Amino acid sequence: MKSDLELDLLRAFVAVAESKSFTGAAGRLNCVQSAVSMQIKRLEEAVGARLFDRARRRVTLTPQGEQLLRYAHRMLQLNAEALSSFGKVSVQGRVRLGVTDTSMVFLPPVLSRFAQSYPMVELEIRCDRSWQALGALEAGEIDLALVTQPCGRSGGTLVRREPLVWAVAQGSAADRQDPLPLALFGPGCIYREAALAALDENGRSWRHAYNSASRDGLDVAVAAGLAVTVVPKSTLTKDLRMLGSAQGFPGLPPIEILLYGMSGQNSGPIAALADATIETLDPKARKAA
């Protein structure tokens, strides 16, 4: 076993692990697939272990690969932090961030923190459903994905967990209607399914009054007093009234915000945005800092 692990090999390893594809990793690293395969072979020789199981068109980490991935993330992040600590203001480039309607509401403080250190970096934000954002990450179309559902993917970092609550517009009587009119995201949203399951378990009748792929679309119906929705507790505004057990509404599971692709290309700005996201949204990370 070699005494040192080359960062370029770790970059390729992380890219394959996160995209679950040598082709996807090559796209993220702007190189040919054969180069990625060679880098993984060299890394496996260096650590003396097989890192991936190659089956059909998808690759998965071996137990040894899972172990190395934790170290690889830390090593690449530390390298990026060390480099970016010198001359941050002069750093330029572009970071492509994929978000969902729900995760996007947590972005303002993240972007403010990032812009203070990297004012010259161009930030491109793409809003999709969780599975679309993760697919774009695997295809190399974005650098980071901040999502609310893992969609079967491993390797994400939990950056925030908070209560999900029922809400209705102030002055609205929609919460007292029978069946209950709902404004929720479309099929495929795990929080929609959790809300409907909670109502069913408590014998509360409901109907789909408004269905939208965007938060803005739901907010219009709720603001008009026409339906009840679910939102992260911290996003409640003075225009909304929270509904709980006193009003006959069952509890809901917490919402989770996950960050994927933290070190795919190991760019200083990409790693810096990942760090800003974690440190801003994760109270434990802020405390440690």
Q: According to the model, what pLDDT value does residue 86 have?
A: 64
Decide: 255 and 101 in contact? Cβ < 8 Å.
no
Considering the domain architecture, whether residues 241 and 273 belong to the same structural domain is answered as: no
Q: According to the model, what pLDDT value does residue 124 have?
A: 92
Q: What is the pTM for the complete model shown?
A: 0.65
Considering the domain architecture, whether residues 154 and 169 belong to the same structural domain is answered as: no
207 lies in which domain range? Answer: 164-253
Q: What is the pLDDT of residues 119-143, one digit of tens each?
A: 778 899 999 989 999 999 888 889 8
CA distance 126 to 142: 8
Split at pLDDT 50, 70, 90, the class of 201 is very high
Domain contains 112: yes
Q: What is the pLDDT of residues 214-228, one digit of tens each?
A: 888 888 999 999 999
Q: According to the model, what pLDDT value does residue 56 have?
A: 63
Considering the domain architecture, whether residues 169 and 139 belong to the same structural domain is answered as: no
Domain count, the chain: 2
More confident residue, 78 or 9: 9
Is it true that the peptide bond before 109 is cis, omega within 30 degrees of 0? no
Q: What is the pLDDT of residues 153-166, one digit of tens each?
A: 887 889 999 899 99
Span 38-63, average pLDDT: 87
What lies within 8 Å, CB to CB, of 195 at 6+ separation is 166, 182, 184, 230, 252
Asked whether the predicted pLDDT for residue 89 surpasses 50, the reply is: no
What does the angle CA 231 – CA 232 – CA 235 come to, to the nearest 5 degrees?
90
Considering the domain architecture, whether residues 195 and 128 belong to the same structural domain is answered as: no
Domain contains 242: yes
Domain contains 282: yes
